[in-house]
Amino acid sequence: MRLAGARVLVTGASSGIGAATARAMAASGARLLLTGRDPGRLAAVAAEVGGEALTADLVTEAAALARWAGPVDVLVSGAGAGWAGPVAAMPDGAAAHLIAANLTAPVELTRLLLPAMIERGRGHLVYVSSIAGAVGVRDEAVYSSAKAGLIAFAESLRYELDGIGVSVVLPGVVDTPFFARRGVPYARRRPAPIPAERVARAVVAAVERGRAETYTPGWLRFPARLRGAAPGPFRALACVFGGSGRR
């Protein structure tokens, strides 16, 4: 799909991957609709890229957001939330919130925006998942399962939609506020975090080139493929190296 002149809705656009994606989309000539939960940061990003902005919480306001956005050519589902620690230590409501923010809300927003795309016979859906959704991560079981659900949702959509592209971008460790917000900083030396702009370029390329699945960085394909082809050796390695990181 050509992005020049396309009407693009980016969720989670107030910071991190979402904000970087807004800038990359603007550089490609897209007309931007941006949403996020931080009104100050969101307004700053919108002013920078010449986009429209609506402060909203996707978990509770997906319907209002869809009405505000109207028909769009591209949805970039970048909003999400994290929590790190053993499942048994999760506070009440934390698991439900993670699943709602990372899976239920993107599914619901897609459901609301799809009819207009289907009617026109064109459009593109991009879901920012995570390598955690492809391989599982220690102390991020609920987050990983929600991101895995997003991958399966996108795969299933491809079989029922004609003329509408569906892409999943799976980042590894990305230098964003994600770790501070989840409550546990990223302390490993390797893999080193990559800039959010690198993921944003992958999102743009996924739309322009019709890519179904993109790992960022590309070497993350190896552990994902190894888990599918040889789960026993993969789990042994995962135990040695402590699992994968996340943005």
**Which residue in 85, 34, 78, 79 sits closest to 59, CA to CA?**
79
Q: Which residue has the tokens 């993350």?
A: 220
Does 125 fall in a domain? Answer: yes
Determine which one of 143, 159, 186, 215 is catalytic.
143
215 is catalytic: no
d(CA 36, CA 16): 11
Q: In the chain, what are the helix, strand and coil shares in percent, each to the nearest 5? A: 55, 15, 30
pLDDT tens readout for residues 117-151: 999 999 999 999 999 999 999 999 999 999 999 99
CB within 8 A of 116, min separation 6: which ones? 70, 71, 72, 123
Is residue 245 pLDDT above 60, yes or no? no
pLDDT in tens, 87-103: 999 999 999 999 999 99
Q: Which residues contact 74 (CB under 8 A, 6 or more apart)?
A: 1, 3, 6, 7, 8, 9, 25, 30, 123, 124, 125, 126, 207
Please indicate, yes or no, if residue 2 is contained in any of the structural domains: no
Q: Residue 1 domain-assigned?
A: no
* Residue 246 falls inside a structural domain: no
155 found inside a domain: yes
How far is Cα of residue 105 from the mean position of the Cα atoms in its chain?
12
Confidence grade of residue 160 (pLDDT, cut at 50, 70, 90): very high
CATH code for the domain of 165? 3.40.50.720
Q: Is 58 inside a domain boundary? A: yes
User: Is 75 among the domain residues?
Assistant: yes
Q: Does the pLDDT of residue 187 top 80, yes or no?
A: no
Residue 246 confidence (pLDDT) above 70: no
Cβ-based neighbour number of residue 188 at 10 Å: 13
**Number of domains the chain contains:** 1
237: in domain: yes
> What tokens does 48 get?
């920078």
32/45 Cα distance (integer angstroms): 11
**Confidence bin at 188 (pLDDT 50/70/90):** confident
Task: Characterize the bridge pairing of strands 7-11 and 74-77.
Answer: parallel
- Mean pLDDT over 7-18 rounds to 97
Taking residues 13-23, what's their average pLDDT?
97
Q: Tell me what pLDDT residue 242 has.
A: 62
Transcribe 202-221 into DSSP letters: HHHHHHHHT-SEEEESGGGH
In this prediction, residue 241 carries a pLDDT of 67
Give residue 97's domain range.
7-241
* Sign of the torsion formed by the C-alpha atoms of 104, 172, 236 and 94: negative
Q: How far apart are CA 45 and CA 110, in angstroms?
A: 23
pTM, rounded to two decimals: 0.92
